[in-house]
């Protein structure tokens, strides 16, 4: 699942992941992402991983992540936080809300795919 308020970023991330064989759900806001995730919880089809923009237009990424963790319950969904800010700044924002990886924008498609494969492999 991709959660990013920038339509260009959502499109590019979706293309990279689709071209690499991943099935992608994309959301433009925290609210729409949480609604989609609730639907997935109800059907038992949680996303394998989440790519989360640290600063969405409607709410901070850390608030969205907190709600993702609550909705997922006992299921641990790997989360990669994406931001144009430094990891130090993001770590302060996300204090007490754990994420699996951080990628600073811009990044290469190969870097994204490598990070995604790493977090998925770690959950096996």
Contact indicator for 68, 77 with CB cutoff of 8 Å = yes
DSSP 94: T
Whole-model pTM?
0.95
Q: What is the pLDDT of residue 124?
A: 77
Q: What is the pLDDT of residue 85?
A: 92
Domains held by the chain: number: 1
Task: Residue 63: give the domain boundaries.
Answer: 2-122
CATH number, domain of 57, equals: 3.40.50.2300
The tens-digit pLDDT sequence of the chain (124 residues) is 999 999 999 999 999 999 999 999 999 999 999 999 999 999 999 999 999 999 999 999 999 999 999 999 888 999 999 999 999 999 999 999 999 999 999 999 999 999 999 999 998 7
Q: What is the pLDDT of residue 56?
A: 96
């Amino acid at each position: 699942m991709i959660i990013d308020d920038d339509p260009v970023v959502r499109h590019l991330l979706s293309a990279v992941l689709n071209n690499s064989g991943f099935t992608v759900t994309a959301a433009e806001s925290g609210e729409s992402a949480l609604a989609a995730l609730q639907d997935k919880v109800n059907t038992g089809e949680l996303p394998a991983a989440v790519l989360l923009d640290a600063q969405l237009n409607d709410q901070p990424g850390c608030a969205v992540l907190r709600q993702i963790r609550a909705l997922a319950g006992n299921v641990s969904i790997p989360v990669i936080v994406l931001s144009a800010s430094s990891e130090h700044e993001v770590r302060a924002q996300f204090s007490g809300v754990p994420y699996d990886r951080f990628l600073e924008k811009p990044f290469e498609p190969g870097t994204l795919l490598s990070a995604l494969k790493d977090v998925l492999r770690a959950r096996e």
